[in-house]
Amino acid sequence: MTDAYAPLGEHDVLIGTGPVSVADVVAVARHGRRVALDPIALKEVEASRARIEALAVDAEPHYGISTGFGALATTFIAPEARTQLQRSLVRSHAAGSGPTVEDEVVRALMLLRLSTLMTGRTGVRPTTAQAYADLLNAHLTPVVHEYGSLGCSGDLAPLSHCALAVMGEGVVRTREGVELPAAQALTEAGLQPVVLAEKEGLALINGTDGMLGQLALALHDLTNLFSVADVAAAMSVEGLLGSDAVFAVDLHQLRPHDGQGIAAGNMRRLLAGSPIVASHQGPECTRVQDAYSLRCAPQVHGAGRDTLAHADAVAARELASAIDNPVVTPDGRVESNGNFHGAPVAYALDFLAIAVADLASISERRTDRFLDPARNQGLPAFLAHDAGVDSGLMIAQYTAAGIVSELKRLANPASVDSIPSSAMQEDHVSMGWAAARKLRRAVDGLTRVLAIEILTSSRALDLRAPLTAAPATAAVLAVVREHVPGPGPDRFLTPEIDAVVQLIASGAVTRAARSQVDLD
Q: Hey, which residues are catalytic here?
A: 63
Rounded Cα distance between 214 and 490, Å, is 39
Backbone angles phi, psi at 206, to 5 degrees: -110, 70
Element (H, E) at 369: helix 343-371
Cis bond before residue 158 (omega within 30° of 0): no
Please state whether beta strands 327-328 and 171-173 pair in parallel, antiparallel, or not at all (unpaired): unpaired
- CB atoms near residue 117 (< 10 Å): 32
53 burial class (0-12, 13-18, 19+ CB within 10 angstroms)? Answer: middle
Distance set, CA 27 to CA 22, 24, 111, 138, 224 (Å): 9, 5, 11, 15, 16
Q: Cα 228 vs. chain centroid, distance in angstroms?
A: 16
**CA-CA distance, 231 to 266, in Å (whole number)?**
8
Long-range contacts of 382-388 (CB under 8 A, 24+ apart): 383/456, 383/459, 383/460, 383/463, 383/487, 384/490, 385/487, 385/488, 385/489, 385/490, 386/489
Distances (CA, A) of 134 to 115, 186, 220, 395: 14, 10, 25, 49
Nearest in space to 38 (alpha carbons), one of 1, 10, 6, 11: 6
Its sign, for the CA torsion 268, 269, 275, 276, is negative
Question: How far is residue 467's CA from residue 464's CA, in Å, rounded to a whole number?
Answer: 6
- Cβ(106)–Cβ(159) under 8 Å? no
Segment holding 472, helix H or strand E: helix 471-481
Q: Give kind and range of the element (H or E) at residue 327.
A: strand 327-328
Are 377 and 290 in contact, with CB atoms under 8 Å apart?
Answer: no
The b-or-e profile of 305-321 (16+ CB within 10 A means b, else e) is: bebbeebbebbeebbeb
